[in-house]
Structure 1
Amino acid sequence: MANHIQAIRGMHDVLPEQAPLWQYAETIIREVLGAYGYSEIRTPIVEKTELFKRSIGEVTDIVEKEMYTFDDRNGDSLTLRPEGTAGCLRACLEHGLLANQTHRLWYYGPMYRHERPQKGRYRQFFQLGVETYGMAGPDIDAELILIMHRMWQRLGIRDKVRLEINSLGTIAERSAYRESLVTYFKAHTDQLDADSLRRLETNPLRILDTKNPDMKAVVGGAPVLMDYLGESSRAHFAGFRKILDDLGVAYEINVRLVRGLDYYCNTVFEWVTDELGSQGTVCAGGRYDGLIEQLGGKASHAVGFAMGIERVLALVETLTDVPVARPVDAYLIRVGEQAERAGIRIAELLRSEVPQLKLQVHCGGGSFKSQFKKADKSGAEFAIILGDDEVSRGEIAIKPLRSGNEAESAQSSLGEQQAVAFFRQRYGKV
């Protein structure tokens, strides 16, 4: 038996029958973000390792355990991007996009983390990232929520996700809370698991995010960050909530919701689902005003989010009425020497006259019966049948392959221009 090379564990292929679902979601993503005036930015999948150490922090699980890092031939340490925010911000700083300017940006593509593969979590995974710069008010925070709210509606999964929000206050307020949290958990070390004991020294806020049910009681008794917020932070959070309330966007305040990185401040949020088991977060984000200065830029405002594409598609797949476009509209069968030559010309004519038509031409010869089977298997709505007799008469036969289309081709043999008109009427609408 052949020893075939297989894909790397945790990295998966998107097969042709799966691609239309991805394209369906990607089209909606582009349309919704375009409706809000956001511009696409594309950054490399490889960055200098230093970028992620400075942005994410050296004492984090991502940097310590999960990054794909290697030395290139010049001896530089490079890393496959584990997330997109740092690279997006690096590009904006490098090209001078943040000097007294505001920006609304988005990006889409693969990210890489060496984690234990499981449903909804891969080592190569796709993310949509949205980042905004230069805007301080709660209105831009709310706009990001409205974008996702509309996107869930367009995807048909709004009832499968819920919004959780919280405020982390300013960096100073969060620092004071951190000290209080450390004091509390040090008095309860006997109730902490190994992960939480390690985080107590490095990132104590992440203890609040534990999934260990045995720690529910000790986490429940911890200080609440909201009690440490000043007047300005409370006003920002109240303004954010008022916009959501005015527009009828439902949410829950989760006082234990934190982001694991120190540069986050004020608004944080997550869209979560109960449909995917332990991988319940499908979109998460918040305000990170501290990161721009941390990467060498002038202090400014920033807020964004990241959405896991595989997890969103897993939710979309639970629906029964996803309007995914078929890969082929029509399949052209050619039988005979004259039909072989004429078929290519006619196919090009149809593609030119009806650009929206997805037309596949049979290649490789074969009997009419075998070609017709392939036409049916292609999923096409119509077979275009061309034999030498049709060519001599200047006709094209059109046969419906799916139920419900018979009435549209009552006249099965058409001239070339009639065939163009037939397909233009059905597929030529923008």
Structure 2
Amino acid sequence: MAMNAPRGTVDILPKDVKAWQYVEDQIKEICNRYHYSEIRTPVFEHTEVYQRGVGDTTDIVQKEMYTFEDRGGRSLTLRPEGTAGVARAYVQNKLYGEASQPVKLYYFAEMFRYERPQKGRMRQLNQFGVEVLGSADPAVDAEVIDLAMTVYRSLGLTSLKLIINSLGDKESRADHRQALIDHFTPHKEELCADCQVRLEQNPLRVLDCKKDREHPAMSSSPSILDYLNDESKIYFEDVKAYLDSMGIEYVVDPTLVRGLDYYNHTAFEIMSDAEGFGAITTLAGGGRYNGMVEEFGGPSTPAIGFGMGLERLLMALDAEGIEIPDDDELDCYVVAVGKEPEQAAVRLVHELRTNGIQVDKDYQQRKMKAQLKAADRYRAKYVLILGEDELSQGTVTVKEMATGEQKVLPKEELLETLHGKLTGGK
């Protein structure tokens, strides 16, 4: 029986990992520039963290979580999203008591969701996320959106579309909720089974349904923007003004609700307009979630964040024909033939690595010609040849692969010479 990776998972092979590392390094540099700190939370949490944080009425909690019971009878769930775990960590570790506020965090994390695998949407996915906890300033909303857009633009993406909306405060949402119930109730039996339940539990989620999106009642549904109270309207206008001041273009879409229960006020998505990107165009999404920290026993804490799928980011780069810089070169490759030269090569490789030189050697006991071919495949800048003659004379033959030029150096001069060549010296 062939053993394959589980459905909805993939192996990220060494030839592809370089692209992942490049993207992650670029993102980390941007987060540092924006003064965000990295946080790492457990890959599984008590199931209640997601039930309370994400919301019982969401598809994630109802259908997509990988939940299991451990040997102590505790219900645990593999991380399906990042925000709830960060909020739990914020409360448990009393980060709300830190002198510097707000707390600005980012993370790279694997997520697990049981859903139908398709291009760019896996059951094990990788996500970059940002969370800012402890500020109700609409300027923070704009900063978080700016950070997400900066990530995409710094990597070269241009076919981007930013969608924003306001979900209002608790009072505004309550009024809109009742309006949605009144609007959809006459059509209840025409909606899918999920939406019939959502209409009772969380009618805002009806607007996010993929099955009923073409139903006539959707296009005529009450807009949240018509139910915003004065405070919510002012907040949304401030967010838009800050985006305008930074020159960030956006489109207001009253139907944008996001798929999680915890959002209020600002909600946003960033989409790819690139030709051939696929039917699912969303690259990142997030919004404000004032109230979640209290769910975990913490003080009243306003917060905002987003999640960005790294698989979808790499897909977008490919769709726009953006190539990841290829700097996969090897500094040095040691070639040796014979038992004594082989032993000397092992010592030499160790010494060079200890002194900061990137180096590799043959481990297949191949002949010199085959070893030189291997050095070429590895794109080695220099080949260091150790034979019987070099060994007896205490020298090393250094071949520069770009020019074919060879020099015989005393072994004691090798390290200084390589450092000079590899750092641009002569």
Superposition deviation, residue 349 in structure 1: 3.3
The equivalent residue for 1:234 is 233
Which ranges in structure 1 are unaligned for 5 or more consecutive residues?
A: none
User: What is the TM-score with the length of structure 2 in the denominator?
Assistant: 0.91
Q: Distance in 2 between matches of 1:311 and 1:426?
A: 40
Superposed displacement of residue 108, structure 1: 1.2
- Match of 2:300, as an amino acid? A
Assess, with a 3 A threshold, how the Cα gap between structure 1 residues 416 and 35 changes in structure 2: closer, same or farther.
farther
Shift of the alpha carbon at 1:117?
0.9
Secondary structure (helix, strand or coil) at the match of 1:136 reads coil
State the alpha-carbon separation in 2 of the partners of residues 376 and 83 from structure 1. 44
Aligned letter for 1:424? H
Instruction: Name which of 35, 38, 43 aligns with 1:37.
Output: 35
Helix, strand or coil for the counterpart of 1:263? coil
- Tell me how far 1:119 sits from its aligned partner: 0.8
Alpha-carbon distance change, 410 to 97 in structure 1, aligned in 2, over 3 angstroms: same
Equivalence for 1:53 = 51
Gaps of 5+ in 2: none
Aligned alpha-carbon RMSD (Å): 2.3
Q: Closer, same or farther in 2 for the Cα pair 1:10/1:421, shift >3 Å?
A: same
Letter in 1 for 2:136: A
Any residues of structure 2 matched to 1:105-254 within 5 Å, and which?
105-157=105-157, 159-189=158-188, 192-212=191-211, 215=214, 217-254=216-253
Contact 2:111 2:124 in 1 (8 A): yes
Q: Secondary structure of 2:248's partner?
A: coil
Conserved? CA contact 2:160–2:270, under 8 Å: yes
Corresponding position of 1:262: 261
Question: Does the Cα contact within 8 Å between 1:11 and 1:123 map onto a contact in 2?
Answer: yes
Corresponding residue of 1:329 = 331
Match for 1:331: what amino acid? Y
| Alignment correspondent of 1:386 | 386
Select the residue among 340, 345, 348 that pairs with 1:346.
Answer: 348
User: In the TM superposition, what are the counterparts of 1:404-419 in structure 2 within 5 Å?
Assistant: 405-406=402-403, 410-416=405-411, 419=414
Q: Which residue of the partner structure matches residue 282 of structure 2?
A: 281
Q: Deviations over 1:87-120 (max 9, x none)?
A: 1111111111113742011121211111111111
Secondary structure at 1:118's aligned position in 2?
A: coil
SS in 1 for 2:6: coil
Conservation of the 8 A alpha-carbon contact between 1:191 and 1:215: no
Conservation of the 8 A alpha-carbon contact between 2:399 and 2:406: no
CA contact (8 A) 1:351 1:359 kept: yes
What is the CA–CA distance in structure 2 between the aligned matches of 1:128 and 1:334, rounded to whole Å? 45
Render the CA deviation track for 1:27-75: whole Å, top value 9, x for unaligned: 1121111111111111111111111111122232211211111111111
Q: Distance in 1 between matches of 2:216 and 2:414?
A: 72
The 3 A distance-change label for structure 1 pair 259 and 352 is same
CA 1:90–1:360: 2 relative to 1, 3 Å:
same
SS at match of 1:268: strand
| Deviation, structure 1 residue 205 | 1.8
Please give the per-residue CA displacement for 1:383-408, whole angstroms capped at 9, x wherever unaligned.
3332222333443334455xxx32xx
Three-state SS of the structure 1 residue aligned to 2:380 is coil
Three-state SS of the structure 1 residue aligned to 2:120 is: coil
Is the partner of 1:177 in helix, strand or coil? helix
Amino acid at match of 1:13: D
Q: Could you tell me how far 1:181 is from its partner in structure 2?
A: 1.2
| 8 Å CA contact 2:335, 2:362 repeated in 1 | yes
3-state SS, counterpart of residue 269 of structure 1: strand
CA contact (8 A) 1:166 1:267 kept: yes
Q: Does the 8 A contact of 1:126 with 1:308 survive in 2?
A: yes
Q: Name the residue aligned to 2:366.
A: 366
Partner of 1:233, secondary structure, is helix
Return closer, same or farther for 1:352/1:311 CA change in 2, 3 Å cut-off.
Answer: same
**TM-score of the two chains, using structure 1 as the length reference:** 0.90
CA separation of 1:369/1:194 partners in 2, compared to 1, >3 Å: closer, same or farther? same
Residues 194-244 of structure 1 deviation map (CA, whole Å, 9 limit, x = unaligned): 443343233322232334586164322111111111222122112211221
Contact 1:46/1:80, CA 8 A, preserved across alignment: yes
Change over 3 Å in CA distance of 1:155–1:413 after alignment to 2: farther
Give distance in 2, aligned partners of 1:153 and 1:421. Answer: 41
* Paired residue total: 419
Task: Note closer, same or farther for the CA distance 1:271–1:372 as it changes in structure 2 (3 Å cut).
Answer: same
Shift in alpha-carbon separation, 1:262–1:352, aligned structure 2, 3 A = same
1:168·1:266 contact (CA, 8 Å) conserved in 2? yes
Question: How big is the shift at 1:128?
Answer: 1.1
- CA drift at 1:327: 6.0
Give, in angstroms, the shift of residue 415 of structure 1. Answer: 4.1
* Larger mean Cα displacement after TM superposition, 274-283 or 169-178: 274-283
Asked whether the equivalents of residues 24 and 324 of structure 1 are also in contact (C-alpha less than 8 Å), the reply is no
